[in-house]
Amino acid sequence: MTRLTLAFALFGAMAIVPATAFAMEPYLPKSPKTFTKVDVDANGKITAAELTPRAEKRFDKLDADHNGAVSTAEINDALQQAMERRRDRILADLDTNKDGVISRAELDSSVDRLVAAADADHDGGVSLDEAKNYRLAKLRKPATGVQAN
């Protein structure tokens, strides 16, 4: 994989995270960990009764004025806040000299760190299994200052 391909993969992965954060409508969990949390009776299936409390919790979080309805403005505010948090995370991770911009050198350094962190067998490359395991490990690691959805 070339540096450019890795850079695109890095930024592509960054795009997925906010897309998940923006999923404010009800959705079915995709990870085994989340599925298990939602499957309250542990029967291997999710029912509407099990999914509804999570959806209602998201609804209540969006309903800033607590009037029982979520307006376009409330959705816009939530999306704006999520974008700002994501921007701050991107800058915190990539802008290593904290000058408010991400240089190509900082991007290259970030790609190097990403590959080194995911390369479990230390052979200089990341296999699909290593990439999957790295992603799962990142998902399991609690983010500081960020609430899970």
Asked whether residue 98 is assigned to any structural domain, the reply reads yes
**Whole-structure pTM over 0.85, yes or no?**
no
Asked whether residue 13 is assigned to any structural domain, the reply reads yes
Asked whether residue 147 is assigned to any structural domain, the reply reads no
Per-residue pLDDT, 5: 55
Q: What CA–CA distance (Å, rounded) separates 6 from 119?
A: 13
Q: What CA–CA distance (Å, rounded) separates 147 from 140?
A: 13
Asked whether residue 146 is assigned to any structural domain, the reply reads no
Residue whose tokens read 């200052």: 145
Domain count, the chain: 1
* Domain extent at residue 77: 3-140
Asked whether residue 94 is assigned to any structural domain, the reply reads yes
Asked whether residue 87 is assigned to any structural domain, the reply reads yes
Inter-residue contact 17 to 86 (CB < 8 Å): yes
Residue whose tokens read 């993969």: 9
- Taking only the tens of pLDDT, the chain with its 149 residues reads 455 555 555 555 555 444 444 456 788 988 888 999 999 999 999 999 999 999 999 999 999 999 999 999 999 999 999 999 999 999 999 999 999 999 999 999 999 999 999 999 999 999 999 998 898 787 676 654 444 43
Q: What CA–CA distance (Å, rounded) separates 149 from 147?
A: 6
In three-state secondary structure terms, 23 is: coil
Per-residue pLDDT, 27: 85
